Amino acid sequence: MVQLKSNTSTSKDTSSPSDSSASTKPVMPKLVSAETVLEKLQRQDGGFYVGTQNLTPRVEYFQGGCEGDVLIPKHTSGVDELTLRGVFQISRTDFYFTPDGQFDPANVFNGRFSDVKLSCHLTATRHKDFGFSLDDFSTIVDNLWGFEKLIRRERDAESLSTIHTALGLDSIKLVHHLFTPLRSTESSEAQLAGDTEDDDTLTDTTADLTSDFDMANWPVAERCKPHLANLVETHTINPLPAYGLDRKLIPPAQYENKLCGAIVEVHFAFFHHHIKKSKRHIFNAVLCDMIVLRPPSNMPSSPLKQRKLGAGPASDMPFKGKKQAHKGKFYFSQLELCNDSP
């Protein structure tokens, strides 16, 4: 474990209680070492570290589930979904891990708000502490391709992969279902009667959370508020199972600030859906758990955005490098430099 050094002083504290409380800085949580994370990924019971070589022969699909075909370990008595895990960086592009997934009701292709999925793209991290993430990323991609190839497809079928390639770089699309339908009247009556066998309905996982996670307080955009209100009686909301450096659940209002660009430990399940009518095969990596290991780095700032437009061209700012023969302003125009020569 990496622990930040304390700044406590050995000198006597003569400040008043109010002064000391005002000057107290928030204590940064301990940073987990890369060695500890990798050991957990490789040795944790249940599931696999997705960077393990040649995982395809060790898995198979359980077909016909209510959420599609789910990947499970081979030669197991149960049908629990397989949990895959790894360390990634959340891409700043195509980031839709926001409270409403950027849903726009005016876009007819968005479908219904109740079906919205939050999503982001996972990439290999180049953080100096997690070199194994970059080293193992090609193996991770090969494993996911292998999982998809386990499904037999029609010759003219269309496949929507969880692997996306842009500008020669691969990324993994991770999704999360924002809403779950409430239990039906029939299942509720069966539970009251004590008949809970094969009851695959979900319990309320938000019962112990603060009001920040209540459906009534969910911070969606103004355009989504009427649609959210219509779902209060029929659906429950599923907060992202995403935890910060302090291992506390991240409030929805902080999703973008805490997650976009962060280095994260991710646990996910793998699903296949077959839409027979349109001959489409859809593969999804569905989020199970996420832990922030390193916060997002600060974006580079530009001094040009802070200048006063009325002060003249920004390129005429004084040159701050080594002193040159030309004093005062620094100019980029080669023509002007030629004209200044004797």
Residue 73's beta-bridge partner residues? 59
Across all residues in the chain, what is the average pLDDT?
A: 82
User: Predicted confidence band at 10 (pLDDT cuts at 50, 70, 90)?
Assistant: very low
Helix (H) or strand (E) holding 41: helix 34-43
Q: Is it the case that residue 4 has pLDDT exceeding 50?
A: no
Residue 132: which CATH number?
A: 2.40.50
Confidence band for 146, pLDDT divided at 50, 70 and 90: very high
Whether 283 maps to a domain, the answer reads yes
- Alpha carbon 278 to its chain centroid, in Å, reads 30
Structural domain includes residue 138:
yes
Note the pLDDT tens digit of each residue in 217-266.
999 999 999 999 999 999 999 999 999 999 999 999 999 999 999 999 99
Distance of alpha carbon 85 from alpha carbon 140, whole angstroms: 10
Look at residue 266 and tell me if it is in a domain.
yes
CB atoms within 10 A of CB 219: 15
Report the alpha-carbon distance of residue 74 to residue 118 in Å, rounded.
Answer: 30
Read off the pLDDT of residues 31-44 as tens digits, 9 standing for 90 and up: 999 999 999 999 99
Helices (H), 150-283: 185-192, 225-229, 255-259
Whether 49 is covered by a domain: the verdict is yes
pTM: 0.77
Q: Is residue 325 part of a domain?
A: no
- Give a yes or no: residue 316 inside a domain: no
d(CA 232, CA 2): 44
238 contacts 231 by C-beta, under 8 angstroms: no
Residue 8 resides in a domain? no
Tokens matching residue 260: 């976009």
Does a structural domain hold residue 5? no
Ramachandran class of 167: left when φ > 0, alpha when ψ lies in -120 to 50, beta otherwise = left
Q: Quick one: pLDDT band at residue 278, thresholds 50, 70, 90?
A: confident
| H-type alpha helices, the chain | 17-23, 34-43, 131-149, 185-192, 225-229, 255-259, 334-340
**Domain range for 58:** 27-92+115-179+241-293
Q: How many domains does the chain have?
A: 1
334 token code pair: 């080669």
